[in-house]
A and B are shown apart, each in its own frame.
Chain A
């Protein structure tokens, strides 16, 4: 019997200035709305944090809707002046960001949506730490 995919879940950790959301499981067509809703809940007009960390340590798979949602999260955070980082990216996520040419977009500064700045503000800590799970 094929094993069921791990349960999708979001762990929200608040710290001064930083909101961390740990994404666990598959971020896909069925689950990505949940991430967007969670981000929206915290993105008040005057949020108590300057940085949103999405931690992908527990991410098991991402599909195109998942990526679409990350782009929407980025659009929202940019609009509010919040810096977004995508941390602990597994290999498949890294490859997807590379392939779709979205990595620079995500790592650009909050003010400069669209300008592929590589100032490094939001490169995150996990570049290249992919485990390579899930790809053939």
Chain B
């Protein structure tokens, strides 16, 4: 207990107070030898504010922590009872720090979990490290070839990503961390020996202390984190090193998940690249357009496919293929790839569809499964303004042909599916497209789209035919777009399978040149949906456009 007068002079101090503050009574001036926090508390009391704290004032005295409880005396004197609260203070400090650290770790996890992109994860890790652990952080990822991706971050600055050839051995403990060895104690690392590449550009002042922490991954290290503090800041404590390891564990797990995802996504992307339908256009006087809408189902890479293989020259037939593989996922994708590659190899034989299909069938047959494909082959050749087609269905929905007058014909070609039976027998059909006429190939994702105004109904071939009747004279892309649009409308919010469509059109000739395409001149082809006064006018009159948010950009 010590008594302090209004002016800050020490009036009295008992033995206990003198033990804690040995010099307290020896001073001359006001507040001399009083700890600052107590001085301030006294001024607060005597300044008229009184003892208005929620918590009693507290602070350090000689390495211990004290609370000061005031008792106002006569003449503005205050008797301060000092109570040693070191243990409680320590416990509270620890709790607060733990809570803070738990919050940081939770932030680290949720921030990192939201992204599966490796560079972004590295950036986030480095930035979070500078926010919570150090003045600067350098994340060194395992080498890709001879170069390491390195991400630099400093407090209040953006993260910088580079890939550079660096020698991990130049930073004590880094090579070990990247190999998954336990971290080297901070005190072994000489801050002066840190090479320039391991210090972010613009780092202020000499490096005061360094810690190198491995980022543990799935079995193999996900990288290492170099944390730097400038010499003006105190060195890393053991407790901070422990926390840095916890931080690194979280970051390493997230980084590894992102890396795993990226590797798998890269495999999928490579496959997809192979499997994605090609962009189509005009080839040798025939117009082609394709449309593909993958199932939302993310497990599904896609069992539908199409290709156009141009003839060697305009006098040669081009081969169009559209097909659908049974099943989904990687198994289906692998089979799709196999079919497309095999057909590519068989192009020289394309004049004989049945032969090609039997060779394909033989290539696909296996004792392990009966996974099959259905497909349509179309050989197309422009001749004198018209397009001659040879159509062959191998167990697939037969092509539909839209004539210039709006009639829609179903091709009579029939045949066996490929890949599950010993032999394939097909009936090829020939037809000729006049300018403005279109042959449509499609997969059952279109006709088996479930939805419609009454819900749960299949779109069906008949509706597709009715829709195509309105597509007379439209260019190939427009027919494809129309079919895709109607299918999308039919589906509404419903789930769906892959949907692939390809249109083969005989372009209307241009006055001077005879390649490429456009639609036939004049607006006569379709009387459109102009009013038919004779019909009852109610909502849904056939004259009412049901695609009413039609096209308007």
Known: A64-B324, A67-B326. A72 touches B417 (CB 8 A): no
Among the stretches A38-46, A48-56, A95-103, A122-130, the one at the interface with B is: A95-103
With CB as the reference atom, state the residue of chain A lying closest to B450: A2
B422, closest chain A residue (CB): A114
Contacting residues, chain B, for A134 (C-beta < 8 A):
458
A71 at the interface (CB under 8 A from B): yes
Known: A72-B369, A100-B416, A101-B417. A65 touches B459 (CB 8 A): no
Of B324, B395, B415, B421, the most chain A CB neighbours within 10 A belong to B421
Q: Does the CB pair B456–A2 fall under 8 Å?
A: yes
B398, closest chain A residue (CB): A99
- Given A134-B458, A136-B460, A101–B425 Cβ distance below 8 Å? yes
Tell me which residues across on chain A come within 8 A of B458, comparing CB atoms: 134-136
Nearest chain-A residue to B371 (Cβ)?
Answer: A68
CB pair B370–A72 under 8 Å, yes or no, is: yes
Q: Given that A68-B371, A75-B370, A136-B458 are known contacts, is A102 also in contact with B327, CB under 8 Å in the complex?
A: no
Residue of A nearest to B463 (CB): A136
Q: Which one of A65, A68, A136 has the highest number of Cβ atoms from chain B below 10 Å of its Cβ?
A: A136
Q: B373-410 CB contact bits vs A (8 Å, 1 = yes)?
A: 01000000000000000000011110000000000000
A67, A69, A101: most-surrounded residue (chain B CB, <10 A): A101
Query: A66 to B369, alpha carbons, bound, how many Å?
Result: 13
Q: Which of B304-348 contact A (CB under 8 A)?
A: 324-328
User: Complex formed: what's the CA distance from A100 to B417 in Å?
Assistant: 5
**Interface membership of chain B positions 459-473, coded 1 if the CB is closer than 8 angstroms to chain A and 0 otherwise:** 111110000000000
Contact A135 B460 (CB under 8 A): yes
The answer for the CA separation of A113 and B397 in the assembled complex, in Å, is 25
Residues of chain B lying within 8 A (CB to CB) of residue A116: 425
Which residue, of B371, B416, B420, has the highest number of chain A Cβ atoms within 10 A? B420
- Asked if B457 is at the interface (CB within 8 A of a chain A CB), the reply is yes
Which residue in chain A gives the minimum CB-CB distance to B373?
A: A64
Distance in Å: Cβ of B153 to nearest Cβ of chain A: 47
Report which residue of B397, B422, B447 has the largest number of chain A beta carbons within 10 angstroms of its beta carbon.
B422
Chain B contacts with A in 403-462, Cβ cutoff 8 A: 414-417, 420-423, 425, 447, 455-462
Is A100 in contact with B369, judged by CB distance below 8 angstroms?
Answer: no
> In the complex, which residues of chain A have a beta carbon less than 8 angstroms from the beta carbon of B328?
29
**Cβ–Cβ < 8 Å partners of B397 in chain A:** 99
Query: Number of A residues contacting the other chain (C-beta, 8 Å)?
Result: 22
Known: A102-B416, A114-B421. A68 touches B370 (CB 8 A): yes
Contact A71:B324 (CB < 8 A) given known A101-B414, A101-B417, A136-B459:
no
- How far, in Å, is A83 (CB) from chain B's closest CB? 17
Minimum CB–CB distance for B435 against chain A, Å: 31
User: Closest chain A residue to B393 by CB distance?
Assistant: A99
CB contacts (< 8 Å) of B369 on chain A: these are: 68, 72
In the complex formed, the residue of B with least CB distance to A76 is B370
In this assembly, does B152 line the interface, its C-beta being within 8 Å of a C-beta of chain A?
A: no
Chain A residue nearest to B459 (CB atoms) is A136
27 contacts between A and B (CB under 8 A): A64-B324, A64-B325, A65-B327, A68-B327, A68-B369, A68-B370, A69-B370, A71-B420, A72-B370, A99-B395, A99-B396, A100-B372, A100-B395, A100-B417, A101-B394, A102-B416, A102-B417, A102-B421, A113-B421, A114-B421, A114-B422, A114-B423, A135-B458, A136-B447, A136-B459, A136-B462, A136-B463
Ranked nearest first, the 8 interchain pairs of A and B with the lowest CB-CB distance are A136-B460, A114-B422, A101-B416, A64-B326, A100-B395, A71-B370, A136-B458, A72-B370
Q: Given A68-B326, A136-B447, 12 more contacts at CB 8 Å?
A: A29-B327, A29-B328, A64-B324, A68-B327, A68-B420, A71-B420, A72-B370, A100-B374, A102-B416, A116-B425, A135-B460, A136-B459
